């Protein structure tokens, strides 16, 4: 792609790119993928317990987005719709993982503690935070990550998780209370 075309695509809003992609402009869709892939991967990594499956979930999300884009009606922002697809793909992967696993042979909560190198880089607090978040139900964990890390508004989180803003508020309040108690030893 010529540099001028790349600059033009990079300057367009998500909605403009999505409209162009709806009409078959693959380069516009590639620009959307480039714009959202890393944030989407971080979201999936924060809500799915196996790092090895996260790339696949993101890839499946973008494939589903490309296929469903012709019917996207712009009732929400493209980013909201994309996160919603990623959330559904993550839930599907969790269900599939659960169905393919003998539940008596695995611990109830996945071990998502970082390795020794990551513990040095991120410290004990982040390891404890991740461990506590891994113990939460998917919706509470996803709501916390979308609000606290990705700084999305409550309405957008509710749309992504297919729930109400009140439910999101409740999940956030319970998660924050849980984390405050569980991580109390780290308070200054």
Quick one: pLDDT at residue 188? 66
Q: What is the pTM of this model?
A: 0.71
CB-CB contact of 150 with 39 (8 Å): yes
Mean pLDDT, the chain, whole residue set? 86
4-42: pLDDT as tens digits: 888 888 899 999 999 999 999 999 999 999 999 999 999
Confidence band, pLDDT 50/70/90 cuts, at residue 120: very low
List the one residue out of 149, 173, 147, 175 whose CA is nearest residue 161: 147
Quick one: pLDDT at residue 80? 93
**Residue 102 pLDDT > 70, yes or no?**
no
**Residue 103 pLDDT > 90, yes or no?**
no
Q: What is the CATH number of domain 117-187?
A: 1.10.10.10
Confidence band, pLDDT 50/70/90 cuts, at residue 105: very low
How far from chain centre, in Å, is Cα 1? 29
Per CATH, is 7-105 categorized as 3.50.50.60? no
Quick one: pLDDT at residue 173? 96
* Secondary structure, 3-state, 109-148: CCCCCCCHHHHHHHHHHHHHHHHHHHCCCHHHHHHHHHHH
Confidence band, pLDDT 50/70/90 cuts, at residue 71: very high
- Residue intervals in the chain for CATH 1.10.1740.10: 7-105
Angle at 132 between CA 129 and CA 133, to 5 degrees: 85
Residues belonging to the chain: 188
Q: Which residue has the higher pLDDT, 170 or 51?
A: 170
Q: Cα-flanking dihedrals φ and ψ of residue 150, to 5°?
A: -90, -10
- Residue intervals in the chain for CATH 1.10.10.10: 117-187
124-176: pLDDT as tens digits: 888 888 889 999 999 999 999 999 989 999 999 999 999 999 999 999 999 99
Mean pLDDT of 106-118: 48
């Amino acid at each position: 792609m010529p540099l001028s075309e790349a600059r033009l695509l990079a300057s367009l809003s998500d909605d403009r790119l999505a409209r162009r992609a709806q009409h078959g402009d693959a380069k516009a869709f590639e620009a959307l993928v480039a714009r959202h892939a890393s944030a989407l991967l971080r979201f999936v990594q924060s809500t799915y317990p196996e790092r090895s499956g996260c790339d696949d979930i993101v890839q499946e999300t973008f494939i589903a987005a490309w296929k469903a884009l012709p019917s996207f009606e712009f009732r929400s922002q493209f980013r909201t719709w994309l996160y919603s697809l990623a959330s559904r793909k993550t839930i599907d992967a969790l269900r599939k993982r659960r169905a393919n696993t003998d539940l008596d042979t695995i611990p109830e909560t996945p071990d998502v503690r970082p390795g020794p190198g990551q513990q040095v880089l991120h410290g004990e607090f982040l390891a404890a935070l991740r461990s506590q978040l891994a113990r939460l139900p998917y919706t509470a964990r996803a709501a916390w990550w979308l609000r606290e890390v990705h700084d999305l508004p409550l309405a957008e989180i509710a749309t992504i998780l297919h729930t109400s803003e009140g439910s999101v508020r409740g999940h956030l309040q319970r998660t924050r209370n849980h984390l405050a108690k569980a991580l109390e030893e780290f308070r200054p």
